[in-house]
Structure 1
């Protein structure tokens, strides 16, 4: 990529330039118009919308001029991730930039564990269709009418995820709910964690619990899911203290930057990597749920990979972390100073 070009996460203040970029692309096709604030309601606040929906969105700049855009939806239950809002300014086409942006989406999809990438494209956007088929996407045969001012009909394209996910680490713990394993996968600008707690040895859970956590490159939680016999919970965040639960505002979690999933030590890693020692406020996901509440926490660096964790409820634990900052041993400490192992590396 040309050194003048910068690919970065979208910001809400990009909205006017983003609208101009997409509006110019629509102007190339008679009858295509933006539908603000209805169908195109993501454009006035692109970063906030992407955060609420659990997706990612990037823009491409050339010396301050916004010349490209691409985004993704969140991982769906069918294993798909949707490619969204792919546009390149006319002045910057035929340079491989669209392929670069598609590659960013494929890397994101691989990193969250997706099996395929899907997209919907206006039947009139023939140049885009050639790009997609050249990149390995196929027309699935599905069509949908948007009933918008442009009288849009869209074609669905899909492609298996062929990019190998970048596996950073695999960790396992012996714990109160069986042997837990988590995979740490690298994302283009962050990381994802995919774990499963077997739920054995404790009838409280009622069976296996699967969780995912996505963080950005500053280790701020952006999306978390917890699914088990008692249902599924989805949290999303803008990384600046604003949260949504199943797409609806979760104002009680305002100010939290981390998620803490009750049944795993993995999430104690997040504030250690993000902030180090100090006081934090986490979105505490109770399992089996459905309670999610803010929880004050304090982390103290004791040196040599040892940390003391204290929660707002008076709970104390000794933590040991590895060279990656991942918690590998977790022991509860009572008022008398007696340590009881809860999770231990396997």
Structure 2
């Protein structure tokens, strides 16, 4: 089956009935990585109720199929620039179907989170990314995110370790 061009898709806030498509997309994005699984019943329960589990959760859909996601939560962030904690958002759940990659979808999704942060008076964005997702790290770097050197272990079924990235937004 041919895949839609991103411009033919609808970008909108997620609804809870998008959950099966969101979970399927995340599973697809995890599938190239050995020992990388998704468990929505114990570890990723927010994916079952995306409309209420995050400050914002967006989906890029074509028909009833989810092709990309991004979400954010709001909390204070230490951008690591010596100025201390500041209001911020955490960028979460940025996943793009492999067929739609390299079309600017991730850039467009990250811009949504950054625009949301600015509109809420939260000038800093942070994200944590699985150490295995090197392509995503390169995308975040191109979009101005700084890898802080911090690393954390999630102690989950996938033995996930994550790198922290931050960006102070221009006002």
TM-score (norm 1): 0.44
The answer for the alignment partner of 1:272 in structure 2 is none
Is 1:132 the counterpart of 2:144? The answer is no
- The answer for unaligned runs of 5 or more in structure 1 is 165-346
d(CA) in 1 for partners of 2:153, 2:6 = 38
Question: How far apart, CA to CA, are the structure 1 residues paired with 2:52 and 2:95?
Answer: 19
Q: Which residue of structure 2 aligns with residue 88 of structure 1?
A: 96
Q: Distance in 2 between matches of 1:35 and 1:13?
A: 18
List aligned pairs for 1:1-346, cutoff 5 A.
Answer: 2-50=6-54, 55-76=55-76, 78-162=86-170, 164=171
Partner of 2:81: none
Q: How many angstroms does 1:3 deviate by?
A: 4.2
Which structure has the greater CA radius of gyration?
Answer: 1
Q: CA deviation at 1:82?
A: 0.4
Task: Give SS of 1:94's match.
Answer: coil
Structure 2 Cα separation of the partners of residues 35 and 65 of structure 1 = 20
Q: Per-residue deviation at 1:148?
A: 0.5
Distance 1:17 1:62 in 2: 11
Instruction: Spell out, residue by residue over 1:194-250, the C-alpha distance to the aligned partner (whole angstroms, 9 max, x if none).
Output: xxxxxxxxxxxxxxxxxxxxxxxxxxxxxxxxxxxxxxxxxxxxxxxxxxxxxxxxx
**Larger strand proportion, structure 1 or 2?**
1
Q: Which runs of 5+ in 2 are unaligned?
A: 77-84
Query: Which structure's relative contact order is higher, taking Cα pairs within 8 Å and 6+ residues apart?
Result: 2
Counterpart contact for 2:56–2:71, Cα < 8 Å:
yes
Q: TM-score, normalised by structure 2?
A: 0.88
Aligned twin of 1:276 = none
Q: Shift of the alpha carbon at 1:28?
A: 1.3
Q: Aligned pair count?
A: 159
Q: Matched residues in 2 for 1:155 and 1:2: separation?
A: 28
| 1:4 and 1:63 in contact (8 A); partners too | no
Once the two structures are TM-superposed, the CA of residue 63 in structure 1 deviates from its matched residue by: 3.7
RMSD over aligned Cα, in angstroms? 1.4
